[in-house]
Structure 1
Amino acid sequence: MKNKKVVTETFKLGTYLIDSILVILSIYIAFIIKFQFEPPIYNLEPFIDIIPFIIVSYLIFMYVFGLSDILKKSIGETIYSITLTVISLFITTAFITFFARGFAFPRSVLIISPFIQLALLSIWRSIVWKLRRIQHGVKNSLIIGEKNIDYVAKKIILKQNELYNIKYICGSNSKNIDEYLDNVEVVFICNDVDYNIKSSIVDKCLDNRKSIYIIPDIYEIAILNSKLNRADDIPMFKVQKLGLNFEQLFFKRILDIITSIIGIVLTSPIMIIVAIIIKLTDKGNIFYKQERVTIGEKRFQVLKFRTMVMNAEKLTGPILAGEDDPRITKIGKVMRATRIDELPQFFNILKGDMSVVGPRPERPFFVEKFKAEISDFKYRTLVKAGLTGVAQVMGKYTTTPEDKVRYDIIYIKNYSILLDLKLILQTIKIMFMKESSEGVTLEEPLMDIIKKRNPKIVVDKD
């Protein structure tokens, strides 16, 4: 197991090294094309001087856009991440050349090189993707849980069947758990498994060197990144309280002000065009105000571009938007898919009602509803509501409220300025990904999916 981990880490480092070589090689090839195989040293020198900055920039963008772990991504998602990385690197390189004898660095090289980078990195990373899939193989797996087991099983069967072959789905009180554990390599444990049973299963998995994936509850999230402490010679974890301290709140507010001003300036042409289109298409209100809940359960009016017909909820009352919702206008569908409808919230951020990053603000009706149904929902309002967040970057429109709450609490627990910056950049990545902006949908019953996908799965939930 240890040797396998060493091989995996070595493989990753080798991948990053070749990535860096290809990025630099692409720029050199652009010089070759520009100067017909004889680039002058005068033009090459500024390029050579900034090579370290280009490599560091690439590695940062590669990490932010998810190229550090491509095992669970599709090949399409991988190439999409490469495209965003190359575009970001192009902008950064253009900026760097202004400070490194920019006039000696030909603009044509700057323009040609991203296309070569995209081609070379896409071919190389496609090979890496295939090798990683072969290396990982398809692992025989077991899912253990209670009420949430159907949802988890559906997700893995439908989305990760190329990585995990589900052999058994069983309740936590099944008498056959030990037998199932002996016949699998990977174990998924749902959050609703009793603590004592969960502890016993984890112990057996560790003893037999099996991989374990645990869907966390508030206890597991609370002990994340806990500091080792002691009472005399007794080791213990100090669980930090949820929420941000004064220093964190201060610097987060500074980031919010800077980001919102930049956001308003950069997106103002888009907002003006959208406003005109909305007014011309149905002559209704351009903006839509709605009461939402933020830190300390304070209420504020969130500002959005209107994406639905006027008075959409007059007859239906408060309901979540669904896929192909007839209330959504044609331009509204485009705005929702690209999240353009959220741009006016930069003004909410500048005002101080919201933050750039944080749990999405819910309506009071749904806050009360979810608080009654989800015990941990109350922790979301320990920080300001945000324009984007971990739940938006990692999840989808179809992600359950319970899972969104887990993402939000994990964000609060792990908050840092660097995490905010990373999430802001990652939000760019998901803006044009359709799967992340789908409406709430109903899924097939688990047994129907099993019959279609893998009838050999043993279901033991009694």
Structure 2
Amino acid sequence: MIRQNQRFLTQIYVFADLLCTLLTFLVAYWLKFKSEFLPHEPTLPFRTYLMWATVYSLAAVLIGFYVRFYAPRRRKSVSYETMKIIQVQGLSFLGLLSLLYIVKEVHISREFLALYLVANIICLCIYRSSVKFVLSRFRRRGFNKRYILILGAGSLGRSFHDSIAQHPGLGYDVFGYLDDYQTEHDDEHRQHKPILGKIDDLDTILTRHTIDEVIIALPLKAYKKYAFIIDKCERAGVKTLIIPDFFDVLPARPFFDNFAGIPLINVRDVPLDELSNQILKRVFDIAFSLIMIILTSPVMLLACVGTKLTSPGPVIFKQERVGLDRRNFNMYKFRSMHVFNQTVADTQWTVENDPRRTRFGTFLRKTSIDELPQFFNVLAGHMSVVGPRPERPFFVEQFKEDIPKYMVKHHIRPGITGWAQTNGLRGDTSIEERIVHDLFYIENWTFFFDLRIIVRTVTKGLLNKNAY
């Protein structure tokens, strides 16, 4: 019954969100004006606060529909829902502040509004996560199932079946397969669901059985059958999804674009290609770098003195690195080695017990203090606070031939720290693993992901055991 009434479920979610938001209003109002924690007499009557809370709640629902917050979320993760909640509540709050400014409602408590926003986000996250957890438990026990029919019993279809089997909490059950080459696949399907017939039997299967979604997992040479399959599924009111036979060359989250009315698959969708995300990241980079330069200026002054007193030569070491759009720039560090031929520095790795380093330089590297001048690179626009670490041109030329997708990292600005570094991939570690983490960061960038990496850098990554 639940499976057949998604619209009814959406209405329940809307009502529950409204109820949760209004109950949160009562809690926030009590904490601000009635409790002993924040004793304060309201300058406006309760009905005024209630009216604006109702406006806020309705706005959150409308914005939720606009950003597809109430679309079916069976396949969405808890982190995705959390981000959507923050997005919806943040936009609604900005809308409320705009309305208060327009109608000149200046006497409403700013502390109450802040408390209300934070309480809303926390309560909605807890309530939505709890619902998701309960539904997952029910689905594991066989309730609220959705049934899938896979077209194509080859390796592609079997891989999809195995992936579904590893996530029972999603509530999907493979009903069976349809394939025109049954004899070739019979032995392979002893551990899988049965092959029910050929592709031409699709209409009969959809008529006789309750199928929610049809997954097309056919090879490219069978593309002529797609029109027939999609037509039969749409006539039966069944959703159709296609697994491209070349999915292994696509990123985890490919983006569908449109050019001159023709749908295109964007092989590499980069969130930072959007101007709004670029502006947000750049503004944060500038603000954060200025703050860090001010806060660490005593440490940088001591590093300058220590470098100068312990070895002859310049305090700052400049080295050419490859950055955004494969353009070279000079990256700054506090010098940690004796002065030597620049060609050697550009073409050789630093190794353990490297005789070129100074004793004070070893300390700078281990504590990552030598990286602090790179905040000036950030201000100059060469780097970002968070991003893939830049490499020397000599090694880039080697890696781009030997490591698949290595050059994709240059789609965005390099960073002082990154997702790979906070997962222990610093110094003498696997370049392949670093690229995997860098690509994950590029494809899944969000502002909060940057904040998470910065926090992990401060708490885990300042002392580098791999720094030679």
TM-score (norm 1): 0.51
Per the alignment, residue 338 of structure 1 pairs with none
Q: Which residue of 2 is the match for residue 315 of structure 1?
A: 351
Once the two structures are TM-superposed, the CA of residue 138 in structure 1 deviates from its matched residue by 7.7
Which string of whole-angstrom CA distances, capped at 9 and with x for unpartnered residues, describes residues 102-123 of structure 1? 8633465457557755764465
Give how far 1:182 is off: 1.6
Cα distance per residue 1:285-310 (max 9 Å; x no partner): 9988654322342222345799xx87
For residue 134 of structure 2, the aligned residue among 113, 120, 131 is 131
Structure 2: how far apart are the matches of 1:166 and 1:362?
Answer: 47
Mark the CA change 1:25 to 1:407 in structure 2 (over 3 Å): closer, same or farther: same
User: Sequence identity of aligned pairs in percent?
Assistant: 18
Work out the CA distance in 2 between the residues paired with 1:12 and 1:365: 56
Q: How much does 1:225 deviate?
A: 1.5
* 1:213-266 deviation digits (Å, cap 9, x = unpaired): 889444578973232767xxxxx545679899xxx7988876666444333344
- Going from structure 1 to structure 2, the CA distance change for 1:16 and 1:428 (only over 3 Å counts) comes to farther
Structure 1 segments unaligned to the other structure (5+ residues): 168-172, 231-235, 319-325, 336-340, 412-421, 441-462
Q: Give the counterpart letter for 2:287 in structure 1.
A: I
Matches within 5 A, 1:19-418: 19-33=20-34, 39=42, 41-42=44-45, 45=48, 48-49=51-52, 52=55, 99=101, 104-106=107-109, 109=112, 113=116, 116-117=119-120, 120-121=123-124, 123-137=126-140, 176-182=187-193, 196=220, 216-218=247-249, 224-227=255-258, 237-238=263-264, 258-272=283-297, 275=300, 291-303=320-332, 314-316=350-352, 332=368, 345=374, 347-354=376-383, 361-364=390-393, 367-381=396-410, 383-387=411-415, 392=419, 400-401=433-434, 403-404=436-437, 407=440
Aligned partner (choices 412, 427, 433) of residue 450 of structure 2: 427
Q: Distance in 2 between matches of 1:212 and 1:4?
A: 24
Contact 1:357 1:387 in 2 (8 A): yes
Give the CA deviation at 1:133.
1.9
- Report the 3-state secondary structure (helix = DSSP H, G, I; strand = E; otherwise coil) of the residue aligned with 1:3: coil
Counterpart secondary structure, 2:330: strand
C-alpha displacement of 1:371: 1.9
Read off the aligned partner of 2:108 and give its amino acid letter.
F
Q: Is the 8 A contact 2:333 2:372 kept in 1?
A: yes
SS at match of 1:432: helix
Larger RCO (CA under 8 A, 6+ residues apart)? 1
Is the deviation greater in 86-95 or in 97-106? 86-95
The amino acid of 1:263's aligned partner reads F
Q: Distance in 2 between matches of 1:105 and 1:164?
A: 46
In structure 1, the residue matched to 2:205 is none
Residues 251 and 176 of structure 1: CA distance in aligned 2, closer, same or farther (over 3 Å): same
CA distance change for structure 1 residues 133 and 270 in 2, over 3 Å: closer, same or farther? farther
Q: Distance in 2 between matches of 1:39 and 1:106?
A: 8
For residues 241 and 51 of structure 1, the distance between their equivalents in structure 2, rounded to whole angstroms, comes to 43
The alpha-carbon deviation at position 54 of structure 1 amounts to: 8.1
Contact map agreement 1:228 1:238 (CA 8 A) in 2: yes
**CA RMSD, 1 decimal:** 7.0
- Report the AA paired with residue 133 of structure 1: S
Larger radius of gyration: 2
Shift of 1:365: 5.5
Which amino acid is the alignment partner of residue 424 of structure 1? Answer: F
Alpha-carbon spacing, 1:376–1:209, altered in 2? closer, same or farther (3 Å): same
Q: Which amino acid is 1:385 matched to?
A: R
Output the CA distance in 1 between the equivalents of 2:353 and 2:247. Answer: 34
Contact 1:46-1:102 within 8 A present in 2 as well:
no
Q: What is the CA deviation profile of residues 348-383 of structure 1, one whole-angstrom value per residue up to 9, with x for unaligned ones?
A: 3442324678765344465344422344333443x3
CA deviation profile, 1:378-397 (whole Å, cap 9, x unmatched)? 3443x3424499x949x966
Tell me the SS of whatever aligns to 2:321: strand
- Is the Cα–Cα contact under 8 Å of residues 227 and 237 in structure 1 kept in the other structure? yes
1:99-155, Cα deviation, whole Å (9 max, x unpaired):
486863346545755775576446524522322322543899999979xx9xxx99x
Cα separation, partners in 2 of 1:86 and 1:108, compared to 1, 3 Å: farther
> Which residue type is aligned with residue 314 of structure 1?
T
The verdict on how the C-alpha distance between 1:253 and 1:116 changes in structure 2, with shifts beyond 3 A counting, is: closer
| C-alpha contact 1:292 1:364 (8 A) present in aligned 2 | yes
Q: What count of residue pairs does the alignment treat as equivalent?
A: 383
SS of match in other structure, 2:329: strand
SS in 2 for 1:41: coil
Whole-angstrom distance in 1 between the partners of 2:82 and 2:253: 34
Is the 2:256–2:263 contact (alpha carbons within 8 Å) kept by the matching residues of 1?
no
Instruction: State the alpha-carbon separation in 1 of the partners of residues 43 and 223 from structure 2.
Output: 66
Q: CA deviation at 1:38?
A: 8.2
- 1:54, 1:276 → 2: CA distance? 52
Distance 2:327 2:27 in 1: 52
Q: 1:430 to 1:30 in 2, by over 3 A?
A: farther
Counterpart-to-counterpart distance in 2, 1:251 and 1:80: 21
- Change in Cα spacing, 1:45 to 1:254, as seen in structure 2 (3 Å) is same
1:158-203 CA distance string (max 9 Å, x none): xx78669999xxxxx9875545552799xxx9xxx99649989x99
Indicate conservation of the 8 Å contact 1:23/1:117, yes or no.
Answer: yes
Pair 1:124–1:407, CA change in 2 (3 A): closer
CA distance in 1, matches of 2:127, 2:41: 27
Match of 1:385, SS state, is coil
Check conservation: 2:285, 2:379, Cα contact below 8 A: yes
Query: Structure 1 residues 178 and 289 mapped into 2: Cα distance closer, same or farther (>3 Å)?
Result: farther
CA distance in 2, matches of 1:279, 1:118: 46
